[in-house]
Structures are given as C-alpha cells and as structure tokens.
Amino acid sequence: MLTFLHIPLTGGVRLVDGENKCSGRVEVLRHDQWGTVCDHGWDLREADVVCLELGCGLAELALHGAVFGEGRGEIWLRHVQCSGHESSTLLMPTLTLLSPHTVFSPGEAVRFACNVLLGHHLSDFHLYKHGVSTPLVTQRADQTQTKVELTLSDIETFHQGSYSCQYRIMGGFPSQLLSSPPSNSINITVVEILTPQHWYNTSAEAPAGSVIKGHNFSITCSTRQQYPGGSFQLRLIRSNGTVRQSLPALTPYVTFTFPNAQSSNEGYYYCLYRVQLGGRTFVSRESQPLPIAIRDPDPLLSPMVISWLVSGLTFVVAVVVIIIVAKVLCTKEKKPTELERETRTCVDNTYVALSINKL
C-alpha cells in the first residue's frame, strides 16, 4: 500500500495522459478531488505498487520530470514510501481445464492452464490441491509469459478433489518473491473400476461346476467400488456364439437367475462392471471365467439297483421253476390204486408226504 504520514491509500489512484490505462502521470483521489504526487523519492518500488493497484503488473519504468505533462490540482502526496506488503494487490490468476473432461481413470494425465493478465517479472506458477500445503506441480515462467500449462501426470484416486493455481513475482521492498492469491477452483473425479467377483448357486445334488438340466441356477456379480448409475453385464461364451445381459447395479452385487437350465446355458460366464460419468463410459476388466456344464438328470433307477432287481427276479423265477418241476415229478410217482390222499410239497428235489386215511 502507499503511505504518507502513516495514512493508507486504499484506492483512488489513476494514470492519466498516457498511451493506455497502465501508463501516464500518477494522480490520487482525496476529499473527492484528484491531485498529483511529488516525484521526490519516486522509484520502481512505488511505481510497482501503483501498477499492481491498477492491475497492470509490475512497473517497467519510474519516470521523473513531468514526462506525461504537468500535474493539475493539489499535490496530495510527497515523499511517498511503501510498506513492503504489496502482495495483496496481485491479480488473481485464472485456472482452466485443458483436458476435455473432468472425470479420469487412474494412470491418466490432467492438463490445466494457469493464466494471469500481467506479464512482467513472473517467476513461476504452482498447482495446488485443496487441503495439501505443497504444490503438486511447479512450472517456471519467462518474465513476459502470462500463461503456462500445468500437467498432473499418472493420477491416482487420491488426486481426486479441487485444484487452484498461484503465481509468484519478484517485487516488494526489499525485493522478494510475492505470491498471488489463489485462482478459481476446478474439481476433478478419479474413477477406479475394480474387476468384479462372481459365483453361482444351484441344487445341492449337482456336481461341482455343473447344473442339472431342468433345475434352477443363479450367478451373482459383485464389486467393492460402486458408482451411481452403474450396471453389471454378464457375458456367456458358448460353442455357437456369445450372449450378453445386463442389470442395474443398485447395490454392490447383482444376481442373474436362470430357471429350467438347458443345454443353451452351458459355457463360460464372465462379469464386468460399467458406469457413465462426466460424459465418459468406464468399464472394468472381465472377471475370471466361470465354467458351467449342463448335465442330464440321473435315471429313476440306477444301474446298480437295476442289477439287484434283475438278480432278485432271476432267483425268484429259478425257485418257481424248481418247485414246478419237482411237483410234476412227485405227481408221476403216485400209484393209481392208492386210496389215500397225499399232499406233497417239493423243495430242492425233496418232498414231504402228508397222508390222510380214508374213513
């Protein structure tokens, strides 16, 4: 700030009779009246302050001797001195995003541009992330350079947040690096799409990796990182082509159900996660393949049971045949004139005769 007898000048300064608004004779406003400044002791330190107040950067020259004509009105300031705290008068820079979007994947680069209207005595530009005290990117600048590109390379998820830039110039008394106020803020989002996990469920009697034909089964896809508007896609690769189906990811996991499994459900299943953010589509890597085979149901009677039944039936038939044959033999051995009635039961080629005497 300009000071005279410890009275601060907080505004009301202009340059007149110059080629543009940043050159001319210095005039100050006091008591609603414009007046001049005595050039005694006037040098670049004081000229810098005036130029910064007017948004013109730092002064190139501090001329004496009424170069821009004789002043008019009262001489309001004599023996001008500077307090040495001129950094508050530096212009605020403007931060713009050169990248075409605000949403990024890990490993990508984000390109910013920091711009300032002044172009004198610039030292460097810095890119800051809000909440971090040290700059993430620093770029040296030519003294006449008003715009630099600041690139944030190979970003990670912790780079997500709000960014602003600042510049520094040489100025003040004694000469030192002065930092500008921070620029406007720009937010970026870093989307990390993780590879989903998946598993399947079916009837307990199905062998591992298989589903019994006609039975129900389901495949569940899940992810640890979920974003609004995301969806899961299940892809089936089979011998005659590929089948895809999608479900919205309202929760971190989604279940695809398959009633009445058929041969067309056999193949390798893959899960992936997809989301659209900031006009870009982000897709995860596919999960590991999940092979599923469709098997015919077991017959009603197993081969072992059928073998037992055949063996048992054969035994019964053999016993019946033996009994019939033995009965025929016993009948042939009976005499025609015999008066007793006999009942014979033959088992394994032997018989027992029960006789009933005729009364």
**90-120 confidence digits (pLDDT tens):** 778 999 999 999 999 999 999 999 998 765 6
pLDDT tens-digit profile of 319-351?
Answer: 888 888 777 766 655 555 554 444 444 444 444
What is the pLDDT at residue 351? Answer: 40
Domains belonging to the chain, first-starting first, are 12-77 (3.10.250.10), 94-190 (2.60.40.10), 197-298 (2.60.40.10)
265 three-state secondary structure: helix
> How would you write the pLDDT of the chain (359 residues) with one tens digit per residue?
333 333 344 457 888 888 887 888 888 887 788 888 877 767 776 777 777 777 666 677 777 777 787 777 777 676 565 554 445 567 789 999 999 999 999 999 999 999 987 656 788 999 999 999 999 999 998 877 888 999 999 999 999 999 999 998 876 555 677 888 899 999 999 999 999 999 999 999 999 999 999 999 999 999 998 899 999 999 999 989 999 999 999 999 999 999 999 999 999 999 999 999 999 999 999 999 999 999 998 775 556 667 777 888 888 888 888 888 777 766 655 555 554 444 444 444 444 443 444 44
Phi, psi of 88 (to 5 degrees): -70, -15
In the block, tokens 């982000």 appear at 282
Closest CA to 218 of 252, 254, 263: 254
**pLDDT score recorded for residue 304:** 65
Are the CB atoms for 252 and 73 separated by under 8 Å? no
Tell me the C-alpha distance between 241 and 186, whole Å.
46
Q: How far is CA 103 from CA 108, 187, 230, 316, in A?
A: 10, 9, 15, 82
Distances 334 to 65, 340, 342, 343, 359 between C-alpha atoms, Å: 168, 10, 9, 11, 20
